[in-house]
Amino acid sequence: MRKTALPLAFACVLLLSGAANSQEQNNLSFLQYEPNLEISFDGTDPEATQIARKMYGKEFRHVDAKRMWLKDPDDGNEQLAVRLSKNKKCKDDCVYAVLFHDDDQWLELWRGKAKKLEFGPIGANGMRGIYDGSRMWVWTGDNYWPHLTEYKFDYQKISSEAKNTLDTALEKEFGEKRDDTQYFALPLALSSGAGSIVSMSSSFYCGQFDCPVFIIDANSNLLARYGSLESQAGASKIRDTNNNPLIETVTTEGIATYQIGEPDPKFIISPQSPIIAGKARK
């Protein structure tokens, strides 16, 4: 399996993840890596299933597999897509694994839950992206890196009231007001009404690996401030007990997911590195 070094600036390249709300078919054009391959586990590849059962049969009662190409077809390495279930054959939220044979052993490159397993086109590092129904995972050369949850990344201008709120917050934090700051707002459905996720562009306020992201309500009140690479952020499909969506930001460790108003992330979605197939993934 071809390996390439992961540069420190890698995240800045990954994060331009123009994604869409997958529940609306007419928004699929917003995807940067639109899925173009769906795997159907129809029992037509018994040899692949037998191979996968040797690795996963002890943990999972039902194992189905199918050969596929994660990379351009060649005469070398084989790849498998595997569907796994412990109690019964699943229909929704199945566990899937993606395997790659490196001429020595089977490696599991990715494992996760999804309603169906889809793949994007072959990316810059030679492998297809993996789409789990919420986000695209992109191969970096060393691991599969998560993108933001699909969202209609249709940025809008902010109101003068919102701009004043954010300018004031930044001046208070950094001790200086800048007139060259640009803001970009994404609509956000809050329990209280229409809000916004506001990203920004500023050579002064934004560092190499951290740039402010703001959450505001319909009245331009500031609800939260986070840091994110390139100020990239989006809304999770998960909602909290107040019926507000969790907010996703991008870090050098993966996707950080916050409850609005809380300073620390509830969880981080980390990149997945290759492991020996059949072993437990941490």
Cβ contacts of residue 198 below 8 Å, gap of 6+?
158, 162, 166, 183, 184, 185, 186, 213, 214, 215, 216
**137 strand-pairing partners:** 130, 146
Tell me the pLDDT tens digit for each residue of 81-137: 999 998 777 877 789 999 999 889 999 999 999 888 999 888 888 899 999 988 999
Indicate the pTM of the whole model: 0.83
Segments making up each domain of the chain, as ranges:
34-144, 160-269
Lookup result for tokens 């040797």: 54
Tell me the pLDDT tens digit for each residue of 57-68: 999 999 999 999
Q: How many CB atoms lie within 10 A of CB 259?
A: 20
pLDDT of 42 reads 83
Residue ranges in the chain modelled with pLDDT below 50: 1-30
Q: What is the mean pLDDT of the chain?
A: 85
